[in-house]
């Protein structure tokens, strides 16, 4: 093959991927999937169960597939909220989504956790696209706080279920579900401030848009304090593994995010946007590092 044909093939490949838009589609969920996989690791530490690296990997693949599916399926608000994905090759996103899901589902099936693979994926589809059979229609999007509640409940249940499937007591699993479920509820609500314009035009009733910044901020603060108080009691009473760094760092990150980043996107500087990503998306990685650092040293 001569150099001219090589150049032509390479050009066609670039055109097929449509440049940055498709790359953004395939990579925008990587960080959240890594963060989710590490949350399963942290949940296992709190529940004092075996930290299974393959289960954490499976969780990351499932999380990646769910969020990439949401980005792949066209939604009205994404035209504004995620304009960087405009023009991306959706068929590539769909293909990668299926591959990631099948990989995660296979690893879960080997450990008898098939149901926990399908729960977030099915819920994600019902949220993003919904189903319609005749006059019956079901779509988990639009109601006040529904998006945040679904996010918190689904991922909280998935994390607690995966990490606690070998746990003999229900109470610690419930506490872990409450902790991670509320944390993801809080994080998704903070990101709602960023997406207010697109959500409003699409008719999605988010807490910041309907209640205003101050009331939403107060609700998040109250929920944040109550959740960490419950987790702290669980640590002190020996219900959970005594890892105070997890709750302390989480509590600090939550306070910083609620105070500094509950504002419209246009009111934030680029530095603040970077800080928000750091405190929300990198929290699990930093806490995991802090937990294992003494063992490494």
Give pLDDT, residue 248.
Answer: 94
Tell me, yes or no, whether 3 lies in a domain.
no
What residues make up the domain containing 263?
A: 11-296
Tell me, yes or no, whether 153 lies in a domain.
yes
Tell me, yes or no, whether 72 lies in a domain.
yes
Q: What is the largest CA-CA distance in the chain?
A: 72
Tell me, yes or no, whether 195 lies in a domain.
yes
Tell me, yes or no, whether 204 lies in a domain.
yes
Q: Residue 34 corresponds to which tokens in the numbers above?
A: 């890594």
Q: In the predicted model, is pLDDT for residue 80 greater than 50?
A: no
The answer to whether 191 and 208 have CB atoms below 8 angstroms apart is no
Tell me, yes or no, whether 134 lies in a domain.
yes
Q: What is the domain count for the chain? A: 1
> How many residues appear in the chain?
297
Nearest to 203 by CA among 80, 69, 72, 71: 80
- Cβ neighbours around 142 below 10 Å, total: 13
Tell me, yes or no, whether 6 lies in a domain.
no
Q: In the predicted model, is pLDDT for residue 89 greater than 70?
A: yes
Give the C-alpha separation, 228 to 179, whole Å: 7
Kindly indicate the confidence band of residue 224, based on its pLDDT and cuts at 50, 70 and 90.
very high
Which CATH number is 168's domain given? 1.10.600
Share of the chain above pLDDT 90, in %: 34
Within 13 Å, how many C-alpha atoms sit on residue 32's CB side?
Answer: 17
Give the C-alpha separation, 150 to 129, whole Å: 14
The reply to whether the predicted model has a pTM over 0.75 is yes
Q: In the predicted model, is pLDDT for residue 296 greater than 90?
A: no
Give the C-alpha separation, 33 to 173, whole Å: 22
Tell me, yes or no, whether 130 lies in a domain.
yes
């Amino acid at each position: 093959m001569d150099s001219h044909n090589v150049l032509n093939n390479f050009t066609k490949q670039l055109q097929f991927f449509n440049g940055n838009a498709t790359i953004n589609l395939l990579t925008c969920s990587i960080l959240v999937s890594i963060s989710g996989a590490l949350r399963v690791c942290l949940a296992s530490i709190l529940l004092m169960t075996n930290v299974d690296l393959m289960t954490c990997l499976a969780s990351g693949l499932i999380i990646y597939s769910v969020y990439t599916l949401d980005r792949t399926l066209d939604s009205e608000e994404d035209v504004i909220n995620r304009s960087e994905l405009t023009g991306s090759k959706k068929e590539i996103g769909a293909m990668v989504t299926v591959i990631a899901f099948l990989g995660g589902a296979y690893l879960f099936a080997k450990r008898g956790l098939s149901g926990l693979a399908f729960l977030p994926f099915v819920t994600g589809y019902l949220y993003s696209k919904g189903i319609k059979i005749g006059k019956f229609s079901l779509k988990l999007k639009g109601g006040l706080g529904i998006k945040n509640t679904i996010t918190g409940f689904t991922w909280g249940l998935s994390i607690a279920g995966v990490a606690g499937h070998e746990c003999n007591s229900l109470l610690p699993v419930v506490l872990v579900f409450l902790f991670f479920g509320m944390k993801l509820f809080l994080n998704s609500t903070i990101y709602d401030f960023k997406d207010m314009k697109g959500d409003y035009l699409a008719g999605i009733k988010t807490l910041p848009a309907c209640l205003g910044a101050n009331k939403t901020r107060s609700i998040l603060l109250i929920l944040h304090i109550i959740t960490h108080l419950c987790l702290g009691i669980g640590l002190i009473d020996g219900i959970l593994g005594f890892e105070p760094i997890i709750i302390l760092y989480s509590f600090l990150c939550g306070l910083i995010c609620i105070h500094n980043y509950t504002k419209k996107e246009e009111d934030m500087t680029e530095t603040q946007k970077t800080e928000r990503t750091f405190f929300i998306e990198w929290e699990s990685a930093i806490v995991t590092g802090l937990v294992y650092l003494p063992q490494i040293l």
